[in-house]
Every structure is written in C-alpha cells, then in structure tokens.
Amino acid sequence: MGNTAQPDAHTATLVDSTAWILGGCDDEDSAKDIYCLDTDTVGDIPPPFRAHTATLFDRKSLVFGGDLRSKYFDTVYLVDIPLRRWSKPHVEPGPKPPRRYHTANLVGSIMVVIGGSDGKDTFTEVWCLDLDKLIWTALTQSSGPVFPKRLAHSATKIGSFLFVMRGH
C-alpha cells in the first residue's frame, strides 16, 4: 500500500473485488479516511514508483515516468479503467533521459509532457505522445528551449490554452 496510513481499529469490507477500508486510528488521532483497494486488477502492473504522471484518455489512464529511489523510468503503462487491466504498450522511443517531477496533459489525442528531472539535470524539453500512433515527438523552436528548466510544476489545460505554473 505504499505510504498510506497504517491505521489500527479500522474496518475492512470486501464487496465484489473491492476492499473498502474505513476509519481507524494511529498513535495521535482517529481517521475518517476511506480507502478502496482493488483486488482484481490484472495485466502488466508497473513497479512501485513516485513523481510520475497519470493522464486520462478514452477511459484509460496513461502512467508515464517517475522513479523508485535512484532508478528513473521512461515507460508508458496503461490501465483500462472499466476492464481493470494494465498493459505496457510498445511505444516508439521518446523522452531521454527518463524523468520524474514532469507534467503530462491531454490535448486532443496528444499527451504533452513538460520538463522534469533525472536527479542530476532539470529539463526544458516538451515531448508529445500521439496516443493514436504511440509515437513520441519533441516539440522544438529555432530560438532556444520552449520552456525554461522546470520540475515539480503544475500544468492545466483550459480551453485551447495550456497553463504551466510555478515549479523550480
């Protein structure tokens, strides 16, 4: 379960293939948290990781990048939400080096990935993954980087604009 709370005195109820964990307490306080643990998801499940992105497209969540301690990922995983099935599609080579603390936003059928870090360098790059063809393309301009170096930022699509905020 990663870093989720480790409550005592909680309840766990299995409904079909979902375990509902409610309440409990730790050494300091009682909780009103509810966790839903899917016990039936199958397929090519990704390894433990953090600082990744998850982007919803066509009832699937595309999970990209992230890290586990000093190992960085450039892998794309898909989870088909209604079917509860993970897969690791073949994707043409894309962002190098692998990254964490980037953003990923859906623009039409394109996942736009901005910035991030490999633990040594912070990136200025913008990469686009065509979700129909599963091919990466680097977004470039002739007069230098598209963005300044950026990690741990946020990006939000509003209408036809992609707003990139903060980070460092």
- pLDDT score at 1: 39
- pLDDT score at 2: 46
Q: β-strands 110-114, 103-107: how paired?
A: antiparallel
Q: What is the DSSP letter of 134?
A: T
Q: β-strands 60-64, 53-57: how paired?
A: antiparallel
CA pair distance 110, 88, nearest whole angstrom: 18
Task: With CA atoms as reference, report the closest residue to 23 among 39, 38, 5, 37.
Answer: 5
Give tens-digit pLDDT for 2-32.
Answer: 445 555 778 888 888 888 888 777 777 777 7
Q: Which pTM value belongs to this model?
A: 0.80
Residues β-bridged to residue 100: 117
